Amino acid sequence: MNNIKKNRIKDKAFKVWGIACTFLGLILLCIFIGSILIDGLQRIDWGFITNLPSRKAERAGIYTALMGSVWILIFTTIIALPLGIAAAIYLEEYAKESKLSSLLEVNISNLAGVPSIIYGLLGLEVFVRVMEMGASILAGSFTLALLILPIVIVSTREAIKAVPKSIRDASFALGASKWQTVSQQLLPASFGGILTGVILALSRAVGETAPLIVIGALAYVPFAPSSPMDEFSVLPIQIFNWISRPQHGFEINAAAAIIVLLLITFIMNGIAVYFRNRWQSKFK
Amino acid sequence: MLRKFSFFQMRKLKETVIEKGLQASALVTIAVTVGIILVLSIEAILFFKEVSIIDFFTDTQWTPLYTDKHFGIITLLSGTLLTSFIAIIFAVPVGLSISIYISEYAPRSFRKTIKPALELLAAVPTVVYGFFALTVVTPFLQTFIPGLAGFNSLSAGLVMGIMIIPFVSSLSEDALHAVPNSLREAAYGMGSTKLQNAFRVLVPAASSGIIVSIILAISRAIGETMIVAIAAGQQPRLTLDPTVPVETITAYIVQVSLGDVQHGSLEYRTIFAAGITLFIFTFLLNTISYRIRKKFREKYE
């Protein structure tokens, strides 16, 4: 009898422990966001968003970094989206079981685990040096596009896989070719899922710092970029630069810029979750 | 008849062209891997022409940016392993407890809301975590660890642990969830509590999936850059003391990239030598986890 009681107490204790663990991370995140808001919120005004960088903390703004992030985001999407979706369609609908397709499979799973800084080294040598793009927006976008490619491919495959087989059969029965089936049935049907994956991948790209530092993105850019061949900075690099300065004013700036960055990340994640929920209910 | 024939011929041609185009896109991923390996090894070979590979592995100092140059990668590796170890020691028990709680104790509706919330932890940009470690966690730890330096591997490691909790909890929970219900019912039928069931039946049954989640978390921690670059310092040091500044492989690459290093110089090549070391480590971990995952999939399908 005694033993059973002991086991029940242990069981209860673990339940409490489990709840504590589950909320530990989230509570820490809340504490952190709270402290950032206390530090940074006072600093955020229209001037902070639209001012050019400055050596004086009170006058410095994030305009050039923010514009750099927007440019990077646009070009990363243009490069990674068609490539990732095409690769996913091939793997999911066309590839037959062969050595090549299993190699592709292992390779993509491996690429997803390569540290982001390694992509930076690849970009530095291939895009910046060999292709002579310099530390430009284009070089940065190519680097980040390769970085998020595995994520786009994996999530697109999941989305295409979720389309019921009956839709494929119906399309083929009506005499459609493979490509007609893919482009007119499967892609529209999996659109929501693909979109979710792409937005999540882009929200990862917008927060990436290390690979862009490695390819030589600058911490200080006097003007907002106006062409894809321009030098650039991005929001995370601006934050990193401000963190590494000793003056307290820049720490406040960093907190304020983090608020902007987190807002962008969370909004993108929110949109992705919204699309996922809407899309998932479509097939159920 | 002829027209119809050529219509189908055209259609077939178009289909082939499209298929080849899609295949080429898929092959880009192979090109990326080949590119990474080529770039890292070419620069690393050039590096090892000037620096002996024995020194690289046995020297206990890393000072490529000083006049008295030493290239002991162990120094950086110790920083990487120390911060990763702290992160894993923190994240694995917490993540595993979360996964057991969510899959065995919590109501099903709770599972649906808490999983995306936990994944938010992994969505926060790492530069933000670095700021957190430096400005919140380190000052907090300093209140009861008096000797703690402003830059240290303890706070960087702990914050990295927070970041990788969802990697452990999410994958482990999937693995526990996939264990057939008959095993649970058998255990309950023998009169076991949920806790006994979890640790004596489910965790062993889902062990391969749990191991995969831990390996991926280790690989993630080893490759993590911004948290350690911001909060762990930039002083290469061969130590196991978590309270002093260290430098990881990734932080070193960032440090060199921020400075003005001439392309083709020895300093420039050190980041590729450091990079290939990092790549080999994560590559091995990823390959092992992929193998286990393949086996694990066969077990339940």
Same-domain status, A29 and A66: no
Name the amino acid, one letter, at B31.
A
| Distance from C-alpha of B108 to C-alpha of B85, rounded to nearest angstrom | 33
- Please tell me the predicted confidence (pLDDT) of residue B67: 80
How far apart are the C-alpha atoms of A283 and B275, rounded to whole Å?
45
Residues A35 and A146 grouped into a single domain: no
- Whether residue A257 is predicted with pLDDT greater than 90 in this model: the reply is yes
Residue A108's pLDDT band (cuts 50, 70, 90): very high
Residues A79 and A65 in one domain: yes
Q: A210 and B290: CB-CB below 8 Å?
A: no
Q: Which of A14, A106, A264 to mutate to test the interface with B (most CBs of B within 10 A)?
A: A14
Same domain, A23 and A134: no
Residues A28 and A131 in one domain: no
Rounded to the nearest 10 degrees, the angle between the axes of helix A137-161 and helix A187-207 is: 140
Paired with B71 in beta bridges are B62
Name which of A121, A144, A208, A250 to mutate to probe chain B: the one with the most chain B Cβ atoms within 10 A of its Cβ.
A121
For residue B184, what are the domain limits?
73-300
Cβ–Cβ gap B124/A19 under 8 Å: no
> Which residues of chain B make contact with A206, given a CB cutoff of 8 A?
125
Interatomic CA distance for residues A19 and A24, integer angstroms: 8
State the pLDDT at residue B127.
Answer: 94
pTM of the model: 0.92
The CATH number of the domain holding residue B152 is: 1.10.3720.10
Cβ–Cβ gap B195/A207 under 8 Å: no
ipTM score: 0.91
User: How many domains in chain A?
Assistant: 2
Mutate to test the interface with B, among A243, A245, A263, A269 (most CBs of B within 10 A): A243
Q: How far is CA A76 from CA A122, A208, A266, B52, in A?
A: 16, 12, 19, 40
Given a contact cutoff of 8 angstroms between Cβ atoms, the answer to whether A208 and B223 are in contact is no
Quote the pLDDT of residue A2. Answer: 80
Domains of chain B: total:
2
pLDDT digits (tens, 9 = 90+) for A55-92: 777 788 899 999 999 999 999 999 999 999 999 999 99
In a shared domain, residues B45 and B185: no
Q: Residue B98: its chain A contacts at CB < 8 A?
A: 18, 21-22
pLDDT tens digits in sequence order for chain B, 301 residues long: 455 567 778 888 889 999 999 999 999 999 999 999 999 999 999 999 988 888 888 888 888 888 888 888 999 999 999 999 999 999 999 999 999 999 999 888 888 888 888 888 888 999 999 999 999 999 999 998 888 888 999 999 999 999 999 999 998 998 998 899 998 999 999 888 888 899 999 999 999 889 999 999 999 999 999 999 999 988 888 888 898 999 999 999 999 998 877 888 888 899 999 999 999 999 999 999 988 888 776 555 4
| DSSP letters for B185-213 | HHHHHTT--HHHHIIIIIHHHTHHHHHHH
Do residue A248 and residue A119 come from a single domain? Answer: yes
List all residues of chain A from 132 to 151 with a beta carbon under 8 Å from chain B: 146, 149-150
CB contact under 8 A, A104 and B195: no
Enclosing domain of residue A188: 47-283
Q: Residue B14 corresponds to which tokens in the numbers above?
A: 């178009």
pLDDT at residue number A61? 86
By C-alpha distance, the chain A residue nearest B137 is A32
CB contact under 8 A, A29 and B166: no
